[in-house]
Amino acid sequence: MNNILICDDEQDIVSALRIYLESEGMNVTSASNGREAVEIMKSPAGETMQLILLDVMMPEMDGIAAMAEIRKESNVPIIMLTAKSEDADKVVGLTVGADDYVTKPFNPVELMARVKSQLRRYTMLGSQNGNANIVNTDIITIGGIELHDKSKEVTLDGNPVSLTPLEYDILKLLMTHKGEVLSPRDIYENVWKETVIGAESTVAVHIRHLREKLEYDSANPRYLKAVWGHGYKMDS
């Protein structure tokens, strides 16, 4: 049974989400503001959470601030719940560490598809904390970056790098296609497993986040290169 945390100050939305998720056999915990969500994630209950549905606009602590706090400790998938008018918040949220977003009023079918997609990815990749005793196989190396696919660990010049499941998937895709230019649409369809209009901005935000973690100078990247008008590639 998957454990989901819903954080939204509108109880009607929480109730609706609970119905959708529990009908799929998921266990739901709720919070009414960002501070409550952070406290839950810092408690023993937080260690069992496998996905968070997080509203942006909330009292006491908004979703962006809460996500920044949660990302200090956890790589659990986070899907933002945003209003149509909150485009700027979507970009900020993806930059801070959100894995996806759903716009209110949401379509239940789309919502559940996105939830299941993130759960599959998280279940496959795990929390990425790794186990020091695991013998790594399928190691991909480009320059100082090493990706250990069995343990789902990434290191930069021997130092561990903490990536979200989506960041890991994007990096693995680019590393396994070293030197090839992949368009934002190619990346989105391979990683998100769906086609969407406007994938460019979503992919660009995640690439920027990867550069911040893997490049000593993200403005002049050594590895994650942009090919103007075409896409991205990994160089050694």
State which residues form the domain around 35.
Answer: 3-125
| Model confidence band, residue 7 (pLDDT cutoffs 50, 70, 90) | very high
Specify whether 95 is located in the same domain as 8.
yes
pLDDT digits (tens, 9 = 90+) for 151-194: 888 998 888 899 988 899 999 999 999 889 999 989 998 888 87
**What's residue 135's pLDDT?**
34
| Model confidence band, residue 100 (pLDDT cutoffs 50, 70, 90) | confident
* % of the chain exceeding 70 in pLDDT: 87
**What's residue 75's pLDDT?**
84
Specify whether 95 is located in the same domain as 164.
no
Work out how many domains the chain is built from and give that number.
2
Query: Residue 111 maps to which CATH number?
Result: 3.40.50.2300
Determine, yes or no, domain membership for 133. no
Specify whether 62 is located in the same domain as 102.
yes
Residue 221 DSSP class: -
Specify whether 158 is located in the same domain as 111.
no
Query: Residue 228 maps to which CATH number?
Result: 1.10.10.10
Report whether pLDDT(131) > 50: no
Specify whether 85 is located in the same domain as 32.
yes
* % of the chain exceeding 90 in pLDDT: 41
Specify whether 63 is located in the same domain as 97.
yes
Q: Cα 209 to the chain's mean position, in Å?
A: 11
Specify whether 22 is located in the same domain as 80.
yes
Determine, yes or no, domain membership for 132. no
Determine, yes or no, domain membership for 131. no
Q: Are 22 and 47 in contact (CB under 8 A)?
A: no
More confident residue, 107 or 23: 23
Which of left, alpha, beta for 198 (phi over 0: left; psi -120 to 50: alpha)?
left
Specify whether 110 is located in the same domain as 208.
no
pLDDT digits (tens, 9 = 90+) for 42-75: 999 998 999 999 998 898 899 989 998 998 888 8
Give one DSSP letter per residue of 117-141, joined into a string.
HHHHHHHHHTTS---TTSPP-SEEE
Specify whether 67 is located in the same domain as 120.
yes
Specify whether 18 is located in the same domain as 116.
yes
Determine, yes or no, domain membership for 130. no
Specify whether 106 is located in the same domain as 143.
no
- Quick count: other Cβ atoms within 10 Å of Cβ 199? 19
Residues in contact with 11: Cβ distance below 8 Å, sequence separation at least 6, in sequence order: 32
Specify whether 178 is located in the same domain as 112.
no
* Beta bridge mates, 100: 79
Determine, yes or no, domain membership for 24. yes
Determine, yes or no, domain membership for 36. yes
Rounded to an integer, the average pLDDT of 103-127 is 79
